[in-house]
Amino acid sequence: MSKVKLAVVYYSMGGTNYQLARWAEEGAKEAGAEVKVLKVPELAPQSSIEKNPIWKAHVEATKDVPEATPDDLEWADAIIFSTPTRFGVMASQMKQFIDLTGGLWAEGKTVNKVVSAMSSAQNSHGGQEATILSLYTAMCHWGAIIAPPGYTDPVIFGAGGNPYGTTVTVGQDGKMIEDVQAAVKHQAKRTVTVAQWVKNGNQ
């Protein structure tokens, strides 16, 4: 039985979604998956990044993280997306990356990818759920299989109880308010499990 191949694709300005991606990597590896952590390309001008010390520091700290490409999506059996909310939808960097998957979609190579998503915002009702749902809408067009965490483990409640995907609030100090590590790892393991079912059924 071959390993599930998981791509964890994220966008992050201050490091929150990068940390979520790393926790997802840990959980997926514990479930036996082969994992790539990948960032989507930055669209913001360098001048904007330079003006924000936290953003600038994060870009520098993650300069060696490879950028996601359509080839990575084709490689993957499953994909976990992690993005901050921007006015209740995914960040434009993530949206552009998904918009550029038309070639894969046209060839039927997005069909039956198992997907799940996570998000963050600066307040507890800042659009996290809507952001995840905006991403899942695109996944319906892909023909992907959406694997939300639902209420499949008590750790979901400990992280705030979001059935669509793990979400977190980020305080003014840049630190996460909720303790979501266990929920992220559970979500990753569940995604890998569902992907294994799909992979076994297709063999």
Q: Return the half-sphere exposure (C-beta side, CA atoms, 13 A cut-off) of residue 135.
A: 37
pTM of the complete model:
0.95
**pLDDT band, residue 174 (cuts 50/70/90):** confident
Interval 109-127: pLDDT, tens: 999 999 999 999 988 888 8
Between the CA of residue 133 and those of 84, 119, 127, 148, 164, what are the distances in Å? 13, 10, 10, 10, 8
Mean pLDDT of the chain: 95
**pLDDT band, residue 155 (cuts 50/70/90):** very high
Is there a contact between 41 and 141 (Cβ–Cβ < 8 Å)?
no
Q: Which domain holds residue 55?
A: 5-202
Domains contained in the chain, number: 1
pLDDT at 151: 97
Q: What are phi and psi of 108, to 5 degrees?
A: 75, 15
**pLDDT band, residue 183 (cuts 50/70/90):** very high
pLDDT at 126: 86
User: What's the CATH number where 117 sits?
Assistant: 3.40.50.360
